[in-house]
Structure 1
Amino acid sequence: MTTFEGRAHGGDGVLRVEVAEGRITGVTRHAAADPSLPVLAPGLVDAQVNGYAGLDVNADDVSADTIAALTQRLAAAGVTTWVPTVITGSQERILHALDAVRQARAADERVHAAIPCAHVEGPFISPDDGARGVHDVEWIRPIDADEVARWQQAGPVGVVTVSPHLDGSAEQVRRIVRAGVTVSIGHTSADHAHIAAAVDAGATLATHLGNGIQPMLPRHPNPIWSLLADDRVTAGLIADGHHLPDETLVSMIRAKGDDGAYLVSDLTAIGGLTPGRHTTPVGGVVVLGEDLRLGHEETGLLAGAAATLTDGVRHLARVPAVGLARALRMASRVPARVTPGTRPGLGTLEVGAPADLLLLRPDDLAVDQVVVGGTPVPT
């Protein structure tokens, strides 16, 4: 048995967590609080990762080794569970990426534990400028449940992002959900009626709400209001300080309530690299700023993110209307609940839960220690 101790992230006092054989076996709380102790929290769960530190899920040469290396590098940054995200492309490229995820999970039980499923973001999205983001319009196509079934044969597809802007979309959504895949609405220019029909058909998530949408919208109705208003939809939000202004984040979190919104990074392979110009397999030339803003060189539009989910927690924790406890919940418990294939208890510090822990320095909330399956990992 091993014991880890830190300040409680959701209240006063000190938590002592006992772990054995990869699971939490005991949790006790003490009234006394040592301000020098790190903050103790569950390992973070990132439901949308395209790449990191030069490794890209969407690269032509992505392999099982790529996925395994990403798992290690993300864990060192505090993200102990992640969802590889494959974006718009040819069916062949999507199948290749999904097969790499499948092979990586089959080859290493640690990778299998860290990756509950894969997320395919597109190609069933809006072709409109702004709404499609930097997704290649050449490969955008209508929602096709039969294609999703082919993806399922290649790898562990758990989530598919779609735009239900075309007539007949709801029936395709219904078929995808019946096949056991969670449907998320995003990169969309759909009107309220089409969005409502997709939710009635079983769509339950919103992909990085407020992003992947036209820059100019009618005051009302628009997709943001439609997805915020529906309590059946849990919304992913990017809290890197660039994708959404703080006042927008606060408003969306208040609208969705404690369990209706979760944080994602939308992290790309440019994250962790030096600022400057970089070329990506999806999106072309992008520019990474010192402030970690990642934008397309020609359009200036955001081209994914370069900040980790841990960076997002740190940013949101300093927003007075949110705070650290809520930010951590939105990056652990809530995404663990809505992501298919996650292990029981993931995202909590409860007896029986996976012993994936994160300790943050009290002064700047930087990563102090990461524990995966009860074993500390290099950071």
Structure 2
Amino acid sequence: MTPTIAIVAARIFDGTEWHEDSGLLLEQGCVHGIVKTSDIPRGVRRVDYDRQQVVPGFIDLQVNGGGGVRFGEETSAQAIREIASAHARFGTTKLLPTLITDTPDVTALALEAGRQARAANVPGFLGLHLEGPHLSLERKGAHNPSYIRPMTAADMDAICAYRGDAGLVLTTVAPENVTAEQVRALVAAGVVVSIGHSNATAQTARSYFDAGASMVTHLFNAMSPLGNREPGIVGAALDDGRVFAGLIADGVHVDPATIRVSLRSKAPPGDIFLVTDAMQTIGTDLAGFELNGRAIYRNEGTLKLSDGTLAGADIDMISSVRFAHQVLGLPLERVLAMASSVPAKAVGLDDRYGYLRPGYAADFAVLNRELECVHTWVEGREPSSL
């Protein structure tokens, strides 16, 4: 088929290498190819981003809210649309709306909202992340302890049913409230299982990785730490090449030195990817909000309960990219991968997302020299149509 749009930029990162003075060819919402500007076919409409750079769209696997909307407080396809739209302003082209620990009724509403969002083809919607309620009380963080409970057969049936008829679902669980047998059943049904909000030992974590858990949720936060005699979940995840790990790069949740050490020590092919863990403050001037009846205070890039407990994050993905590149000193190419191809691989979707290759979704962000997001395209849709 013939390409219909050429995105022209000073340089284009395809997820592996840079292309200078080139055009990204789009056709029916997918990437057709990348060619030199002089080789763009005649008759193709050109969109010029002079002196700017095009990179694969960001994929955020942990997004609690945005644009004033928190998923769970509002559970509808429209709520998901508003959250995705808010994050698209910051280069995120695919995300998992994340439901934190709540009641069975709210969880059911969230699963139905995901079904409706998929049926409506909401731009940016990739699937759902259920972060709880099957977590550890000891490592609950800001999750409401009254809602934390063991996983039941009914819980498993609901998650597996969603996976069967609506697609990708990621669930964060703790060994304290979910058995290894339950993890095996979830993974067999195609559910991505992540270990988090847990005080499990490294040995226990390894047994859950053996059962099929392939990820840990916000590395270092709300989990047993790396110690000299007990490696904890942190040590087990860094040491196991089967495991991917999300990480909040805001300089608040994890110290920069700790992040650099973890990146150097992570066993491949599993890798560390960026998540925002963003709340509804993104894209707004909200001074705070309520979470399950508790006040959350926004102050200088942090969101906290009155006792100082962190309650999600107040950062978008392009800000995370800048932090990782400018503060951590990581090569831009690696940081871009941490925000796109690595999370895509973590959930088994790197055959269609995370790169700008022929046949892949035309998901990309346009960045200026200061690494600010100028425009975001989702599946070939121009920014004005999102």
Verify same fold: TM over 0.5.
Answer: yes
Shift of the alpha carbon at 1:279? Answer: 2.5
Secondary structure at 1:318's aligned position in 2?
helix
Partner of 1:22: 29
**Distance in 1 between the 2:31 and 2:170 partners?**
28
C-alpha change, 1:181 and 1:39, in structure 2 (3 Å) is same
One-letter amino acid matched to 1:260: D
**1:203 corresponds to which residue?**
213
2:337 aligns with: 329
| Secondary structure of residue in 1 paired with 2:86 | helix
Is the counterpart of residue 351 in structure 1 residue 358 in structure 2? yes
- Pair 1:43 & 2:43 matched: no
The more displaced of 317-326 and 265-274 is: 317-326
Q: What is the Cα deviation at residue 265 of structure 1?
A: 0.7
* Aligned positions of 1:262-281 closer than 5 A: 262-274=273-285, 276=287, 278-281=288-291
1:86 equivalenced with 2:99 (yes/no): yes
Contact map agreement 2:23 2:34 (CA 8 A) in 1: yes
How far residue 156 of structure 1 moved from its aligned partner, in angstroms, is: 4.6
Distance in 2 (alpha carbons) for counterparts of 1:191 and 1:283: 33
Counterpart CA distance in 1 for 2:265 and 2:152 is 32
3-state SS of the aligned residue for 2:51?
coil
The verdict on how the C-alpha distance between 1:243 and 1:65 changes in structure 2, with shifts beyond 3 A counting, is: same
Partner of 1:371: 377
Matched, 1:182 2:188: no
> Residue type of the partner of 1:183?
V
Distance verdict in 2 for CA 1:63–1:20, change over 3 Å = same
Decide which of 71, 76, 95 is 1:57's aligned counterpart.
Answer: 71
Greater Cα offset, 316-325 or 5-14: 5-14
Return the offset for 1:302: 1.2
Q: CA deviation at 1:217?
A: 7.0
Render the CA deviation track for 1:283-318: whole Å, top value 9, x for unaligned: 72111123x22122x221211011111211111111
Q: Is contact 1:287-1:294 (8 Å) kept? A: yes
* Gap regions ≥5 residues in structure 1: none
Taking the TM superposition and a 5 Å limit, the aligned residue runs for 1:71-220 are 71-106=84-119, 108-109=120-121, 111=122, 114-128=124-138, 131-144=139-152, 146-153=154-161, 156=167, 158-165=169-176, 169-213=179-223, 218-220=227-229
1:284 to 266, 287, 294: 294
Matched letter for residue 107 of structure 2: I
Q: Hey, what does 2:43 align to over in structure 1? A: none
Judge conservation of contact 1:19–1:355 (CA < 8 Å) in 2: yes
CA deviation string 1:317-346 (max 9, x = no partner)? 114541211111011111112225x48421
Which residue is 2:81 aligned to?
Answer: 68
Q: Deviations over 1:211-268 (max 9, x none)?
A: 1236x87443122111111111111111122111111111112222575111111111
The question of whether the paired residues in 1 share the 8 Å contact of 2:276 and 2:320 is answered with: yes
- CA 1:262/1:225 → structure 2, altered by over 3 Å: closer, same or farther? same
**TM norm structure 2:** 0.87
- Which consecutive aligned stretches of 4+ in structure 1 deviate over 6 angstroms post-superposition? none
Letter in 2 for 1:354: A
CA distance in 1, matches of 2:360, 2:227: 45
1: CA distance, partners of 2:229 / 2:253? 21
Paired with 1:2 and 1:87, the residues of 2 have a C-alpha distance of 40
* Contact in 2 for aligned 1:145/1:175 (Cα 8 Å): no
Q: Distance in 1 between matches of 2:12 and 2:167?
A: 35
Structure 2 distance, partners of 1:135, 1:54, is 20
Identity within the alignment, %: 32
Does 1:293 find its partner at 2:302? yes
The match for 2:312 is: 304
Q: Distance in 2 between matches of 1:64 and 1:42?
A: 25
Instruction: Tell me whether 233-242 or 145-154 shows the greater mean CA deviation.
Output: 145-154
Contact 1:40 1:359 in 2 (8 A): yes
Amino acid corresponding to residue 128 of structure 2 in structure 1: A
One-letter code of the match for 2:103? S
- Over 3 Å counting, the alpha-carbon distance change for 1:244 and 1:183 in structure 2 is same
- The TM-score with structure 1 as length reference comes to 0.88
Structure-2 change in CA distance of 1:283 and 1:240 (3 Å): farther
Separation in 2, partners of 1:358, 1:372: 9
**Shift of residue 104, structure 1, vs aligned partner:** 2.0
Counterpart amino acid of residue 326 in structure 2: R
Please report how far the alpha carbon of residue 62 of structure 1 lies from its aligned counterpart in structure 2 after TM superposition.
Answer: 2.3
Cα distance, 1:275 vs. partner? 5.8
Task: Tell me, in whole angstroms, the C-alpha distance in 1 between the residues paired with 2:235 and 2:350.
Answer: 32
SS in 1 for 2:235: helix
RMSD: 2.4
CA distance, structure 2, for counterparts of residue 264 and residue 320 of structure 1: 16
Q: Which runs of 5+ in 2 are unaligned?
A: 38-48
Match for residue 5 of structure 1 among 8, 14, 31:
8
